[in-house]
Amino acid sequence: MIEDAYPLAALQAGMLYHSELEPDSPTFHDLMTITLRGEPDVPALTRALAEVSARHPVLRTSFDLTGFSEPLQLVHDTVTIPLEVADLREGAVRETGPGRGGPDGETGHAEDGKGPRERLAAWREREKHTGFDWSSPPLLRVHVHVLDGGEFALSLSFHHALLDGWSVATLVTEILHRYAAPPGYASAPLAPPRARFRDMVAAERSATASAETREFWRERVTDAPESRLPRLPGFPVDGPRDVTVLAVPVPRETVAALERESRELRVPLRTILLTAHLRALGLVTGEREVMTGVLSHSRPENEDGGEVLGLFLNSLPIRVRLDAASRADLVRRVFDAEIAAVPHRSYPLFEIQRAAGRSPLLDTLFDFRDFHVYGGLPGEGAAITGQEFFEQTDMPCTVAFVRVPGGGLTLTISYDRTQFPRDQIEALAGRVLAALTGEPGLGEAETEAITRWNATGRDHPGGTLHELIFAQAALTPDAPAVGFEGTWITYRELAARAVAIAAELRAAGVERDQPVGVYLERSTDLPVALLGILAAGGAYLPLEPGHPAERLRTMLSDAGARVLLTSAALAGQAPQAGRTVLLPAGAPAPTGQEDLNPPDGPGHEDALAYVIFTSGSTGRPKGVGVSHRAIVNRLRWMQADHAITPADRVLHKTPISFDISVWELFWPLVTGAGLVVAKPGGHYEPSYLARLIVSERITTAHFVPSMLDPFLDTPELAPGELRRVVCSGEALPADLVRRFAERLPEVELHNLYGPTETAVEVSTHRCDPAEQVVPIGRPGDNTRLEVLDDRFGRAPVGTRGQLFIGGVQLARGYLGRPGLTAERFVPDPYGPPGSRLYATGDQARWRPDGEIEYLGRLDTQIKIRGMRVELGEIEAALLDQPEVRAAAVVADGERLIGYVVVGGTAGGTTTAPPPVSPETPPETG
Ligand code: AMP
Ligand code: MG
């Protein structure tokens, strides 16, 4: 007979819903096993179970999810808790029900080769996956397993929707009291506790109806931080949730110190423990403000509140800024946040989540369990020798401090093994423990690992870029150096023509560190001209024909370039400079007697080699000056990694206003390989490139990912002699890597990364079609990468931070912009005095394998087919128009949309003009 019926608590409903979806899942199937000394007394246990069943309504409860207008829990008047007894000892009867007694079942376990404890463990595994029938009470089963050594196991298997942890402890205690009591002796009251679970359901209902409480929680969760633990490569793995526990004892001295602190600050110990959890969370998420769930045990406050059984639980978000002035301040701040939530604690998480519009809202949960378990148990007849509690929830990670007998504390972290590797959770436990007494920070092992990953020192021979090329020319004067449209010049011709140009440039006043504008289309003349400028001691400043004249003029003057080098054909359209030097038309016939000595004499490695302009957020592009030392290191490192030979041919197709072109042009020339120059505009034509790669026997080519994509689609695609493709300039998607491996299986693919503010690229990764995310890899030779938080502290492995770059490949700075240079090239807190780090504005993280993952920008800089664009620069250009009062530019895929407010009066109109393109045609690397 049904004696009571009432709705479900929101948490119960959620749990049952989950179990309905996955009937055999161990999630929310709790299993408590305690080991006791002695022989099991089945009649006494049967009696004890009958008494607790009579006393506690939740043990007589079933669920009806569909039969009424809303799901109900139904309390039945009498319910017998099923009890099964099995002897797991060698040769024993396999299973007997209560009262069945005799050896009428199958006998013998001898063949399975396991001991009783292993059989118990195997049974526990099976039991976790054996579901319950909502409609037949109780949702609880009891099992006794006779073990060896004079012990037996008592297991309570039940659905979590019935009982919270406190209730489990209370129930076990009560059962054992009744079990151990002499027959006829009332060891515990038989009358039900006055507190009832149905009252908690009613309280939740009224909280849900309260506008004030709803508003309280809405405010808390609006724009809440993610506070999501990092997921490392390979995680989550596909498959059913698999929760396990890591337990670490808290040192005794620490517990004593925390208890002292709790008294001094007049806050509960729990608050101090919660504060440590929050600080550890701040460290591993990289957030200044964090949010976690806190398990709230909302037991009734009347005198039977501790005895009533039920699911008196709710998880409440707590959100705290971590930037307190002192540890005590932070603890008080956490306490205040807890106190503020108390009047609203019955509001179910489900509703809070709905208000946040985000599900799941919480990635971590905090709990403090100080259960007075098994209090005053009768020693004889019920001595507990062990216990194991399995509970799996849908929380990815629960950090709990548990009181242990004797007043100690254990830190336990329950985590889903499909989402986190054990190492990560061990590290988290270490950080929580560290936060109990001080600053949580990087462990020694982690610091050591980051140092090791950055141990990139390699002694490369020095020299300037042009010295290296002239040395190569002396070595292989007659080898083909530069090929363009089917015609090749030798290293001798290259060097001789460069020497001649250098002499002219010297005469025009070019000297060390001076940028010389170069205004040329791609052809054989281009590498000749660049080498000529370097040989004269100058630095080249690429100016691309086709770019707006105004922009080119500004670049020349901002860089302080007084000399421009161009061809007779282009001179008419070239920007005006102090002096214009023309390349000689046509090449002189080689004589073999050419002067191969640059007029510069010994070069200086710290002199500027090139200046490349890049978009500036305030509207003014900035010129980045890079030294010979930096770019030579780049080339030496590349050569050390790939060892190209005179048999190799490298494609040059990237417009020279992009730094990628620097290695395309010079890597072959410093190694004796052939440089194949693509025709002007050829970089836009995938099929031309595909044909060129085959016909010119190219072995090495660069693509920005957005150009690699259409390239892989060209019908002409064939590997020819292509051995390696290098990607850089923008994020390389994993599916593109897979497509590449399908179309060009014999060709290596590398993902490189680097801003213009360093010599082209500073990290490298060999791609693997199996990877889910393509990292940007490890630092190159003589380069250091750091992932730092906003106070220049090292972010832990796996945690997002800003990527900083140190080492010899750093640019000297922005030409003529000392303020801007100081802003982005900052003192290196981890390097020798005077060393600098470049702040990239990129977000990144270390992976446990020592490679770095790129995670997007911190600002509004974007990439359009590899071209770096600051939206602020375009906004500034719009604002320059007299009619425009306000402007905003947003990126929409490959389009940029500018919004402007026009008119001189307030309340002007916002219009979306046709998409604004960057001033220059999109780069296609
Ligand atoms: P740039 O100065 O044109 O070389 O642009 C540098 C920026 O491009 C970097 O700061 C990144 O935002 C982006 N970038 C370059 N290489 C990569 C890469 N391999 N993966 C993701 N982003 C990249
Ligand atoms: Mg770059």
Distance set, CA 547 to CA 398, 476, 501, 543, 860 (Å): 58, 37, 25, 8, 23
State which of 622, 860, 863, 864 you would mutate to test the pocket of ligand 1, scoring each by most atoms of that ligand within 8 A of its C-beta.
863
Ligand nearest to the CA of 752: 1
Does 378 have pLDDT greater than 90? no
pLDDT at res. 811: 98
Looking at residue 472, its pLDDT comes to 96
In the predicted structure, residue 744 carries a pLDDT above the cut 60: yes
Instruction: Give the number of whichever ligand sits closest to the CA of residue 756.
Output: 1
Euclidean distance between CA atoms 64 and 401, whole angstroms: 36
Angle between helices 211-221 and 197-209 (to 10 degrees): 80
Distance from Cα 233 to the centre of ligand 2, integer Å: 25
Q: How far does the centroid of ligand 1 lie from the alpha carbon of residue 731, in Å?
A: 7
Q: Note the pLDDT of residue 390.
A: 86
Q: What is the pLDDT of residue 587?
A: 67
Given the structure tokens 């950055």, which residue do they identify? 454
DSSP 448: H
Residues forming beta bridges with residue 143, ordered by sequence position: 84, 155
Question: What is the reported pLDDT for 106?
Answer: 44
Distance of alpha carbon 341 from alpha carbon 317, whole angstroms: 9
If you average pLDDT over each of 387-401, 598-612, 687-701, which comes out highest?
687-701
Query: Is the pLDDT assigned to residue 593 strictly greater than 80?
Result: no
What count of other Cβ atoms lies within 10 Å of the Cβ of residue 410? 14
- Sequence-distant (≥ 6) Cβ neighbours of residue 129 within 8 angstroms: 24, 25, 26, 29
Q: Tell whether the model's pLDDT for residue 97 goes beyond 50.
A: no
Q: What percent of the chain has pLDDT over 70?
A: 92
Residue closest by Cα to atom 7 of ligand 1: 755
Of the ranges 69-73, 594-598, 626-630, which is most confident?
626-630
- pLDDT tens digits, residue range 519-563? 999 999 999 999 999 999 999 999 999 899 999 999 999 999 999
Residue 31 has pLDDT above 70, yes or no: yes
pLDDT computed for residue 94 by the predictor: 55
- For 123-168, what is the HEC assignment? HHHHHHCCCCCCCCCCCEEEEEEECCCCEEEEEEEEECCCCCHHHH
| 109 — pLDDT class (breaks 50, 70, 90) | low
CB 459 within 8 A of CB 436: no
Nearest CA to 286 among 661, 630, 802? 802
At residue 54, φ and ψ (nearest 5 deg) are: -70, -35
Q: At 873, list the tokens.
A: 């620069």
Whole-angstrom CA distances from 842 to 214, 631, 789, 809, 845 are 39, 22, 12, 17, 10
What are the b/e assignments for 382-406, b being 16+ CB within 10 Å?
A: bebeeeeebbbbebbbbbbbbbeee
Whether pTM > 0.85 for this model: the answer is yes
Residue 720's Cβ-side half-sphere holds a number of Cα atoms within 13 Å equal to: 20
Taking the C-alpha atoms of residue 336 and residue 381, their distance in angstroms, rounded to an integer, is 47
CA distance 398 to 28: 14
Question: Is it the case that residue 564 has pLDDT exceeding 80?
Answer: yes
Question: What's the N-to-C CA distance of the chain in angstroms?
Answer: 78
Q: What is the dihedral of CA 600, 605, 606, 612, to 10 degrees?
A: 80
What 3-state class would DSSP assign to 609?
strand
Q: Which atom of ligand 1 is found nearest the CA of 757?
A: 2
Q: Bin 101: left if φ > 0, else alpha if -120 < ψ < 50, else beta.
A: left
Which position has the higher pLDDT, 304 or 200? 200
In one-letter notation, the amino acid at residue 689 is L
Residue 913 has a pLDDT of 46
For residue 99, pLDDT over 50 is answered with: no
Q: Distance (Å, rounded) from C-alpha 763 to C-alpha 752?
A: 6
Q: CA-CA distances (angstroms) from residue 316 to 293, 295, 357?
A: 5, 6, 15
Q: Ligand 2: distance of its center to the CA of 757 in Å?
A: 8
The ligand with the least distance to the CA atom of 765 is 1
Cα 464 to ligand 2 centroid, rounded to whole Å: 21
Task: Considering every ligand atom shown, identify the ligand nearest to the alpha carbon of residue 657 and give its number.
Answer: 1
The set of residues, in sequence order, having a beta carbon less than 8 Å from that of 888 and lying 6+ positions away, is: 875, 898, 899
Mean pLDDT score, 747-763: 98
pLDDT tens per residue, range 843-871: 999 999 999 999 999 998 998 888 888 99
DSSP state of 237: P
Say whether pLDDT at 373 is over 70.
no
Higher per-residue confidence, 338 vs 597:
338
pLDDT bucket at 416, cuts 50 / 70 / 90: very high
Residue closest via CA to ligand 1's atom 12 equals 842
Nearest Cα to Cα of residue 171 among 51, 39, 351: 51
Residue 908 binned pLDDT confidence (cut-offs 50, 70, 90): very low
Q: Which amino acid is at 870?
A: E
| pLDDT beyond 50 at 310 | yes
Residue 921: pLDDT band with limits 50, 70, 90: very low
Question: Distance from the CA of 760 to the center of ligand 1, in angstroms?
Answer: 10
pLDDT digit string (tens) for 473-486?
Answer: 999 999 999 999 99
Instruction: Name which residue sits closest to atom 10 of ligand 1, judged by CA.
Output: 755
What pLDDT shows up at residue 825?
A: 98
pLDDT at 699: 98
Ligand 1 atom nearest residue 732's Cα: 20
Amino acid, single-letter form, for residue 825: F
| pLDDT for the residue 8 | 96
Average pLDDT of the chain is 91
How does residue 377 score in pLDDT terms, banded at 50, 70 and 90?
low
Ligand 1 centroid distance, CA of 542 (Å): 20
Q: How far is the CA of 730 from the centre of ligand 2 (A)?
A: 8
Atom of ligand 1 at shortest distance to CA of 861? 12
- Ligand 1, closest atom to CA 756? 2
Distance 671 CA to ligand 2 centre (A): 22
Residue 600 pLDDT > 50, yes or no?
Answer: yes
Three-state SS at 710: helix
Atom of ligand 1 minimally distant from the CA of 857? 12
Q: Which pLDDT belongs to residue 4?
A: 96
Q: With contact defined as beta carbons under 8 Å apart, do 29 and 131 qualify?
A: yes
Ligand 1 site residues, Cβ closer than 6 angstroms? 614, 728-732, 751-756, 776, 840, 842, 854, 857, 863, 868
The 8-class DSSP code of residue 479 comes to S
- Residues 584 and 529: their CA atoms lie apart, in Å, by 10
pLDDT computed for residue 599 by the predictor: 66
CA 703 to ligand 1 centroid distance, Å: 13
Q: Of 367, 310, 381, 392, give the one whose Cα is nearest residue 124.
A: 392
Measured distance CA(621)–CA(869) in Å, rounded: 10
Mean pLDDT of 324-335: 96
CB-based contacts of 600: which residues, under 8 Å, 6+ apart?
Answer: 466, 502, 512, 535, 536, 537
* Residue of minimum CA distance from atom 4 in ligand 1: 755
Name the residue at shortest CA distance from atom 21 of ligand 1. Answer: 731
Secondary structure in 3-state letters for 507-575: HCCCCCCCEEEEECCCCCHHHHHHHHHHHCCCEEEEECCCCCHHHHHHHHHHHCCCEEEECCCCCCCCC
Written as six digits, the tokens of 576 are 């005006």
Please report, for residues 231, 244, 283, 415, 426, the alpha-carbon distance to residue 420 in angstroms, rounded to integers and kept in the order given. Answer: 7, 11, 17, 7, 10
Question: What does the chain come to in residues?
Answer: 925
Burial 664-678 (b: 16+ CB within 10 A, else e): bbbbbbbbbbbbbbb
Residue 280 in tokens: 């550890």
How high is the pLDDT of residue 917? 44
Query: How many Cβ atoms are within 10 Å of 46's Cβ, its own excluded?
Result: 18
More confident residue, 919 or 147: 147
- Per-residue tokens: 534: 């370097």
Give me the pLDDT at residue 301, please. Answer: 76
Inform me whether the pLDDT recorded for 423 exceeds 70. yes
